Amino acid sequence: MKQLTDHPGPTVALPMKNGYRIVRCSDIVRCEAAGNYTKFFLASGQEFSVCLRLKQVEEMLPEAVFCRVHRSHLVNLEWVEMWVRGEGNFLEMADGAMAPVARLKTRKLKTQLQLRKVPDN
């Protein structure tokens, strides 16, 4: 599993009841819609919700790293372990969670994963 690093990298400020929670984008494994809230799942195992719709969260995060794979799921492509295809399409994440992939999102996901491929030497 990926470890926290000393290099902070890009961050996002998420509105909380009494201020903002500053989170490194690289620490976000995935986000899941819950009505008018979005639940965040971090690499450290922490989970928390913010009063933002998933669409708003998607607009705040870097598009090169995050992909909306389902109406209720946004994933950090750096944390994807496996794409399981069969009766349903799912992404197995590094935290063990399975994120569904909507049929209409497969082309975009393939494109984003292709860009992340390591070139052959």
* In the chain, where the domains are located: 11-115
pTM listed for this prediction? 0.85
Taking domain 11-115, whether its CATH number is 2.40.50.1020 is answered by: yes
pLDDT-derived band of residue 116, with 50, 70 and 90 as boundaries?
low
Q: Which residue has the higher pLDDT, 89 or 117?
A: 89
Give residue 1's pLDDT. Answer: 46
CB neighbours of residue 56 within 10 Å: 13
Cα–Cα distance, 68 to 109 (Å, whole number) = 8
Cα–chain center distance at 57? 10
- Residue 65: pLDDT over 80: yes
User: Contacts from 65-68 at CB under 8 Å and sequence distance 24+?
Assistant: 65/25, 65/26, 66/25, 66/28, 67/105, 67/108, 67/109, 67/112, 68/105
- Residue 19: pLDDT over 90: yes
Mean pLDDT of the chain: 90
Q: In 3-state terms, what secondary structure has residue 61?
A: coil
